[in-house]
């Protein structure tokens, strides 16, 4: 991953994190990641509230909003790990069912029905042909009912006030799009999708239906991967009710895809004061300016994050257990 970018949620916002002043974090405070298998009917914020109660912490955040009806992978950062979310891979993967012949106000079954049309007799080969233009980098218009900001207000809030919105298209990337099943009797097809942050599967369902001439919307959706976490790591929400709550994933394991610099004992005080460091020998010549680097202390524990500068220097971006 080039540079340190915010892993976008369904809003699709991706911004480079700004330099922040070193902030202290209690060494004993929980710090790590939890992957929830979000059930239908609960908001992502509601899941965060459950995690706060389970761990007795206020400092909890999620990595990528899921609509209430959507299930599956919801990464949760606990404690100081909330500051590490920008360094995770923003790509996501889904399995979803598209209902052809129906368009709605929200581009899924939760919305108001706008139009019904007959679904043409389609072969799997014809569906494959219709899917082809949606692979790769494409222009996509978000749903009117979405978390996209419009003049500082979420699109869904303006839509609920009765405003008719024409959201601007933006580029997203659909890296993998596979037809898993097709049922001509119901007009439903199942898809596997791997895509960039900011991609709306509801928009994909709507646009596929338009391309086929009959309209379409999303019938159901399950996220199978997000921010580098898959369903195999996900725990059910009910697990939070048990004591102790689930063990958190070690941030150093989660950040294993990034280069790592280990501080010498003599460098630790300077790091905690926010001073730049000279990259260790194995990193010199391997880093590109702007690359994020994981910094560990002499004891092997996470000490923070740095940004690669020219001439092999590292600029602190996040300092744990800071001094001064």
Q: Which residues are catalytic?
A: 67
Check if the beta carbon of residue 154 is closer than 8 Å to that of residue 148.
Answer: yes
- What is the H or E stretch that residue 220 is in? strand 216-226
CA distance 107 to 110: 8
CA distance 271 to 268: 5
Counts for the chain of helices (H) and strands (E), in that order: 6, 19
Residues 6+ apart with CB under 8 A from 163: none
From 48, 51, 53, select the one nearest 63 (Cα to Cα): 48
- What is the H or E stretch that residue 288 is in? none
Place of tokens 């996040």: 318
CA distance 321 to 307: 18
Coil/strand/helix, residue 79: helix
Check if the beta carbon of residue 170 is closer than 8 Å to that of residue 140.
Answer: yes
From 198, 252, 257, select the one nearest 228 (Cα to Cα): 257
CA distance 319 to 21: 8
């Amino acid at each position: 991953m080039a540079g340190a970018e915010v892993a976008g949620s369904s809003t699709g916002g991706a911004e480079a994190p700004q330099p922040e002043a070193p902030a202290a974090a209690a060494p004993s405070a929980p710090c790590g990641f939890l992957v929830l298998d979000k059930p239908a009917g609960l908001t992502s914020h509601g899941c965060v509230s459950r995690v706060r109660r389970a761990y007795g912490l206020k400092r909890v955040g999620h990595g990528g909003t899921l609509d209430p009806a959507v299930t599956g992978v919801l990464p949760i950062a606990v404690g100081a790990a909330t500051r590490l979310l920008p360094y995770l891979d923003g790509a996501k993967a889904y399995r979803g069912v598209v209902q052809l012949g129906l368009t709605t106000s929200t581009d899924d079954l939760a919305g108001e029905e706008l139009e019904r049309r007959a679904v043409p007799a389609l072969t799997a080969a014809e569906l494959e042909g219709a899917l082809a233009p949606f692979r790769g980098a494409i222009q996509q218009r978000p749903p009117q009912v979405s978390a996209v900001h419009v003049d500082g207000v979420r699109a869904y809030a303006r839509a609920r006030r009765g405003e008719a919105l024409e959201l601007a298209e933006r580029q997203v990337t659909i890296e993998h799009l596979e037809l898993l099943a097709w049922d001509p009797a119901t007009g439903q097809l199942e898809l596997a999708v791997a895509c960039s942050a900011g991609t709306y599967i509801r928009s994909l369902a709507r646009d596929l239906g338009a391309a086929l001439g009959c309209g379409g919307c999303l019938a159901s959706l399950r996220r199978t991967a997000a921010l580098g976490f898959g369903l195999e790591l996900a725990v059910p929400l009910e697990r939070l009710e048990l004591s102790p709550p689930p063990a958190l994933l070690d941030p150093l394991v989660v950040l294993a895809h990034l280069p790592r610099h280990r501080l010498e004992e003599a460098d630790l005080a300077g790091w905690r004061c926010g001073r730049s460091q000279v990259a260790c020998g194995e990193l010199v010549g391997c880093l590109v300016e702007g690359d994020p680097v994981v910094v560990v202390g002499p004891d092997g524990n996470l000490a923070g994050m740095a940004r690669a500068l020219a001439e092999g220097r590292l600029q602190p971006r996040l300092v744990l257990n800071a001094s001064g």
